[in-house]
Amino acid sequence: MTTERTGTLHDTEVGGPGGARTVFLHGLFGQGKNFTQAARTLEPDLHSLLVDLPNHGRSAWTDSVDYVDVADAVADHLRGGFAADGPVHLVGHSMGGKVAMVLALRHPDLVGRLVVVDISPTANGGTGEFEHLLDSLARLDVDAVARRADADRLLSEDIPDERVRGFLLQNLRSHGADFRWQANLALLRAELATIGGFPDASQLGDGVFDHPVLWLAGERSSYVRDEHDATMRRLFPRTRLVTIKGAGHWVHSEQPEAFVSALRVFLTA
């Protein structure tokens, strides 16, 4: 069963009663639907909610980016719906992983188990890749785009990786005869330093989430490093780190079978 709901936060529900209720939070440029295949593969073990974070997908745009505000908004959304009957599991990738960590720390009553995918509770040193991608998208003249293939061709020089272009172009939507970006690209570019950061201790509630945590890292990614381990375990003392071989930052799309297997074992334990 798949059900979509649109409001301040748009979500899609996959699966039915009986599975472990699990919420998926995507990364920068993503949408909840990025986890559709994983959620379907995990049926009936999981009953999943795929959330579009603010300024992404079909969720509302905001005037600024703040992890505490986003985490609290997602918590309110869950408390009034998917988590109304008790705690749910939470899976977050990259930016969504930071939202998930902040939510778990500030609203631990809502979260049973937490999965953090290829990100750490620290400021990320390198946002240059994302600056390049956002600037490339901003330079694209959408008024010159008659078909999605036109946008793909126009972006190919700046973004030669076909897989990355395909992922980014999921944000390009047709409106009648015109195309427009669905994500709030101008705000995301302006707030990139905030997106690369992490809230300080004064904003994180009691400061410790003492439930089981699975920390998934891509073998070829640099977003989870040895020097992050102490901070992660101070905030999440019951953390288990698993490295997914052959994966870069987008673990769930680069190694989907290993990703699904890790989630199934951890979330159904």
Q: Which domains does the chain have, with CATH numbers?
A: 2-124+197-267 (3.40.50.1820), 128-190 (no CATH)
Question: Looking at the whole model, is its pTM more than 0.85?
Answer: yes
DSSP H or E stretch at residue 232 = helix 229-235
CA distance 75 to 51: 12
What is the amino acid identity at position 269? A
What confidence tier does 189 reach under pLDDT thresholds 50, 70, 90?
A: very high
Task: List, for residues 234-260, the tens digit of each pLDDT value.
Answer: 999 999 999 999 999 999 999 999 999
Q: What is the pLDDT of residues 10-63, one digit of tens each?
A: 999 999 888 999 999 999 999 999 999 999 999 999 999 999 999 999 999 999
Sequence-ordered strand ranges (E) for the chain = 2-5, 11-14, 20-25, 46-51, 88-93, 111-117, 172-175, 178-181, 213-218, 239-244
